């Protein structure tokens, strides 16, 4: 028997339980309509909120930059891979987010790892929302934090209780004599449900108990606060200690970013292991985000269209009888519950020319499967009508509505 046979069997078991995810291949550029298996389908599940992944202005900026700078950084930035474009992109992002400084990393997932694991260790304390993104959960694991509290989703009364416990635990100094750091961490927009963390309350509570705050703004940039993100949405500039973001959603490329006080960013730059030991972002990623920030700064029209498309989509789905959960943002989950139902629903949508993957365990808790519809600024009303009509037809076939 192969030493890894157990894992191979797991795949078969996942297929039986409807938990296996076949991964489709896009044969065209991202966009409201894409080609899969030679067939044009409506794209109803990408994070390309503003259409930047295929925006001609970003493409031109990238082509121009690639002609001048080539394609890659060639090394980790602290050795010889630190390019003008990295510095420009960081400056642009800091300005957009209203922060003192920004720090680019090779992905949002990695940015969360760096943001947490560089400043908290075994003897520090973390308080985390139960629905935080997997990268935050993994960051806490990697930091090997012994005292961690997971509070009920967005439950501020429980957060306060946990903060009190944390303050009591922090009375014991660490082995180096320092006071333990208490970090409160939350997603800004929860990626699977689309609801928003009550950040002003989190910040006020953290301040009251001497904790620091971190927010993951992956689904806020390009979406909330006229595209500037969650700090702008709640007018919390300078009040959040650590903001993490991604270039991989609204900005349409790949990369992660941490923003905050100059001194903190300096510390991350000197100590963040994935920065010290992983190559800098590509020229294309940097050039695209610089152009993306320019567009967002000049005009609010894409962000406005994104929100009006989202409102229209939600209204139509709800009118048809679908449950879209607790969303407050363009993320529009169509709640189905059963994993196999979600899988079958998605399959039938696809047969009707709509691409919307099922979201199921482990992306969400078992029994909370859904189809997460992601409208964008570049969908037309006609596109949304087409998608909703397919949802209604499949919903009736499968007796969801
Ligand atoms: C809330 C949240 N944080 C972080 C990430 C990771 O970002 P990236 O795709 O840039 O690694 C994601 C993407 O799935 C996300 O939804």
The domains found in the chain, sorted by start residue, are 15-44+300-397 (3.90.1150.10), 56-298 (3.40.640.10)
Does the active-site annotation cover 80? no
| Nearest by Cα to 260 from 268, 252, 248, 249 | 268
Neighbours of 191 (CB within 10 A): 22
Please answer whether residues 240 and 256 qualify as being in contact, where contact means their C-beta atoms are separated by less than 8 angstroms: no
pTM above 0.85, yes or no: yes
In this prediction, residue 216 carries a pLDDT of 98
pLDDT in tens, 89-102: 999 999 999 999 99
Q: How many Å apart are CA 310 and CA 299, to the nearest integer?
A: 19
How far CA 245 is from CA of 108, 126, 191, 257, 313, in Å, comes to: 6, 20, 13, 5, 26
pLDDT in tens, 369-390: 999 999 999 999 999 999 999 9
pLDDT above 70 coverage of the chain, percent: 100
| Nearest by Cα to 307 from 154, 194, 231, 188 | 194
pLDDT band at 355 (very low <50, low <70, confident <90, very high): very high
In this prediction, residue 367 carries a pLDDT of 94
Does the active-site annotation cover 175? no
pLDDT band at 331 (very low <50, low <70, confident <90, very high): very high
Taking the centre of ligand 1 as the mean of its atom positions, its distance from the CA of residue 92, in whole angstroms, is 20
In this prediction, residue 390 carries a pLDDT of 98
pLDDT of residue 18 exceeding 80, the answer is no
Q: Ligand 1: list residues with CB < 6 Å.
A: 107-109, 112, 133, 135, 187, 191, 216, 218-219, 246, 248, 256
Please answer whether residues 127 and 159 qualify as being in contact, where contact means their C-beta atoms are separated by less than 8 angstroms: yes
In this prediction, residue 17 carries a pLDDT of 81
Write down the residue that tokens 């510390």 correspond to: 267
Question: What is the average pLDDT across 116-141?
Answer: 97
pLDDT band at 20 (very low <50, low <70, confident <90, very high): confident
Question: What is the average pLDDT across 254-278?
Answer: 96
pLDDT band at 16 (very low <50, low <70, confident <90, very high): confident
Please answer whether residues 187 and 136 qualify as being in contact, where contact means their C-beta atoms are separated by less than 8 angstroms: yes
Ligand 1 mutation pick, 194, 195, 247, 249, max ligand atoms within 8 A of CB = 249
**What would you report as the CA-atom Rg of the chain, rounded to the nearest whole angstrom?**
22
Q: Which numbered atom of ligand 1 lies nearest the CA of 254? A: 10
pLDDT in tens, 291-320: 999 999 999 999 999 999 999 999 999 999
In this prediction, residue 15 carries a pLDDT of 86
Taking the centre of ligand 1 as the mean of its atom positions, its distance from the CA of residue 359, in whole angstroms, is 15
pLDDT in tens, 165-186: 999 999 999 999 999 999 999 9
114 prior amide bond cis, ω within 30: no
pLDDT in tens, 226-237: 999 999 999 999
Taking the centre of ligand 1 as the mean of its atom positions, its distance from the CA of residue 246, in whole angstroms, is 7
Taking the centre of ligand 1 as the mean of its atom positions, its distance from the CA of residue 210, in whole angstroms, is 28
State the virtual CA torsion across 65, 68, 72, 76 in degrees, nearest 10. -100
In this prediction, residue 362 carries a pLDDT of 86
């Amino acid at each position: 028997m192969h030493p890894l046979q157990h894992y191979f069997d797991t795949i078969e078991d996942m297929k039986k339980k409807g938990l296996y995810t076949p991964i489709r291949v896009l044969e065209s550029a991202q966009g409201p309509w894409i080609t899969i298996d030679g067939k044009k389908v409506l794209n109803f599940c990408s994070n390309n909120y503003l259409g930047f992944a295929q925006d001609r202005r970003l493409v031109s900026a990238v082509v121009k930059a690639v002609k001048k700078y080539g394609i890659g950084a060639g090394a980790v930035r602290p050795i010889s891979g630190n390019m003008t474009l990295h510095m420009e992109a960081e400056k642009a992002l800091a300005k957009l987010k209203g922060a003192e400084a920004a720090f680019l990393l090779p992905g949002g997932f990695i940015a969360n790892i760096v943001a947490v694991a560089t400043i908290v260790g075994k003897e520090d304390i973390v308080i985390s929302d139960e629905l935080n993104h997997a990268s935050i959960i993994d960051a806490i694991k990697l930091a090997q934090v012994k005292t961690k509290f997971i509070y009920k989703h967005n439950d501020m009364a429980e957060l306060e209780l946990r903060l009190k416990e944390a303050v009591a635990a922090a009375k014991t100094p660490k082995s180096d004599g320092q006071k333990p750091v208490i970090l409160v961490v939350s997603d800004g927009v929860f990626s699977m449900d689309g609801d928003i963390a009550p950040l002003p309350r989190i910040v006020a509570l953290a301040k009251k108990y001497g904790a620091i705050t971190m927010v993951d703004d992956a689904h806020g940039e390009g979406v909330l606060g006229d595209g500037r993100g969650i700090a702008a949405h709640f007018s919390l500039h300078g009040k959040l200690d650590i903001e993490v973001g991604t270039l991989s959603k609204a900005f349409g490329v790949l990369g992660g970013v941490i923003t905050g006080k100059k001194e903190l960013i300096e510390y991350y730059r000197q100590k963040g292991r994935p920065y010290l030991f992983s190559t800098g972002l590509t020229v294309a990623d940097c050039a695209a985000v610089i152009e993306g920030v320019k567009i967002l700064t000049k005009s609010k029209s894409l962000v406005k269209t994104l929100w009006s498309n989202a409102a229209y989509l939600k209204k139509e789905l709800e009118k048809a009888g679908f449950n879209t959960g607790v969303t407050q943002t363009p993320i529009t989950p169509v709640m189905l519950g059963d994993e196999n139902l979600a899988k079958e629903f998605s399959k039938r949508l696809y047969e009707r020319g709509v691409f919307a993957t099922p979201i199921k365990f482990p992306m969400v808790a078992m029994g909370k499967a859904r189809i997460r519809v992601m409208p964008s600024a570049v969908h037309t009303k006609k596109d949304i009508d087409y998608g909703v009509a397919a949802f209604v037809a499949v919903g009736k076939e499968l007796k969801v509505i």
